[in-house]
């Protein structure tokens, strides 16, 4: 009876090792997907930022949107950008959300979205 228990323990150890290796592979795959998603997300937000800057810097009067807003509206947008609270060194998701929300709001105000 001692022999079957040893075999059973060996089988459990092998199962655990296999499970650990499988989990490690799945986590490595998840890491790659996470990187792909964050890279694409960053590119999307940066593209919106560039579109906003280009719209605001347009030389052509048809593309220039500055005349369509009151001074107070511009001051509100400027203040929102100046006062955004970020801590880049911490790499916080809430900072990304704040940036995304602000950029989306500005793009919407400029008629870009």
pLDDT score of 89 = 96
The token duo for 105 is 């709001």
Q: How confident is the model at residue 51 (pLDDT cuts 50, 70, 90)?
A: very high
Question: What's the pLDDT score for residue 4?
Answer: 52
Going by the DSSP 8-state scheme, the letter that residue 60 receives in this structure is S
Please name which of 61, 60, 54, 41 lies closest in space to residue 106, comparing C-alpha atoms.
Answer: 54
Q: Which of 85, 106, 107, 105 is nearest to 96 (CA)?
A: 85
20-24 average pLDDT score: 96
The answer to whether the predicted template modeling score (pTM) of the entire model surpasses 0.85 is no
pLDDT at 97: 96
């Amino acid at each position: 009876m001692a022999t079957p228990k040893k075999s059973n323990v060996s089988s459990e150890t092998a199962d655990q090792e296999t499970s650990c290796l499988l989990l490690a592979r799945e986590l490595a795959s998840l890491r790659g997907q996470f990187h792909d998603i964050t890279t694409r997300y960053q590119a999307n937000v940066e593209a919106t930022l560039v579109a906003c800057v280009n719209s605001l810097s347009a030389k052509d009067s048809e593309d220039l949107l500055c005349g369509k807003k009151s001074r107070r509206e511009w001051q509100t947008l400027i203040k929102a950008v100046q006062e955004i609270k970020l801590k880049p060194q911490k790499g916080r998701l809430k900072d990304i959300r704040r940036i995304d929300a602000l950029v989306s709001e500005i793009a919407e105000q400029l008629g870009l979205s």
